[in-house]
């Protein structure tokens, strides 16, 4: 069973997961766009009686539109989720802990770079990171209690 500390980290990591889903959809869209470009360049050779090329092009175009809609929906979801996470992070009293979480989970910065950016040694950053995760854990637990 997942402990509360891991649940708090999972809550924060979800930003990256949604962002990765968006990136994958963008790659899918690019491959369909490439396919559409190839279809368009060979379309002239299809012939007058062959509607198969037009049907395939319509399918590819429809798929591109579907992917674009899915990308927009995921971006909306990401923005909403980032707001939710920001509200939790803002409740942490220690401003350095807040900054570490923002750099780690919203900007995807490695801990070594966070230490450099904040002019701290790595052990201090990791200590504050753990403190921040525990604070998130407490905030989420309180939020869960209020919902019940």
Residue 70 has pLDDT above 80, yes or no: yes
pLDDT at 45 over 60: no
- State residue 144's pLDDT score: 77
**For the chain, percent of residues with pLDDT exceeding 90:** 73
Contact 75, 26 (CB under 8 A): no
Copy the structure tokens of residue 32: 């369909």
85-109 residue pLDDT tens: 999 999 999 999 999 999 999 999 9
User: How do residues 129-141 score in pLDDT, each as one tens digit?
Assistant: 999 999 999 999 9
Structure tokens given for 118: 């904040």
Give the integer Cα–Cα distance in Å for 86 and 95: 13
| pLDDT recorded at residue 58 | 85
- Judge: domain 91-148, CATH 1.10.10: yes
- The predicted structure's pLDDT at residue 147: 73
Q: What mean pLDDT, rounded, does the chain reach?
A: 90
Range of lowest pLDDT (39-48, 94-103, 122-131): 39-48
What is the predicted pLDDT for the residue at 66? 96
The model's pTM is: 0.82
Which long-range contacts link 108-111 to residues 24+ away (Cβ below 8 Å)?
Answer: 108/16
Q: Where are the domains of the chain?
A: 12-90, 91-148
- Of 146 and 19, the structure prediction assigns the larger pLDDT to 19
State the helix-helix crossing angle for 122-147 and 52-90, rounded to 10 degrees. Answer: 100
Residue 15: name the closest of 105, 103, 83 by CA. Answer: 105
Residue that wins the pLDDT comparison between 104 and 51: 104
Q: Distance between CA atoms of 129 and 127, rounded to whole angstroms?
A: 5
């Amino acid at each position: 069973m997942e402990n509360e500390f891991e649940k708090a980290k999972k809550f924060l990591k979800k930003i990256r997961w949604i962002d990765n889903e968006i990136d994958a959809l963008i790659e899918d869209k690019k491959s369909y766009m490439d396919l559409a470009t190839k279809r368009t360049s060979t379309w002239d050779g299809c012939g007058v009686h062959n509607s198969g090329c037009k049907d395939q092009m319509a399918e590819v175009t429809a798929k591109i539109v579907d992917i674009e809609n899915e990308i927009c929906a995921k971006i909306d979801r990401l923005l909403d989720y980032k707001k939710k996470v920001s509200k939790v992070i803002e409740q942490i009293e220690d401003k350095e802990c807040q900054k570490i979480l923002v750099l780690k989970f919203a900007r995807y910065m490695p801990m070594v770079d966070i230490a450099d950016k904040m002019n701290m040694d790595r052990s201090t950053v990791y200590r504050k990171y753990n403190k921040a995760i525990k604070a998130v854990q407490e905030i989420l637990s309180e939020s869960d209690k209020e919902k019940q």
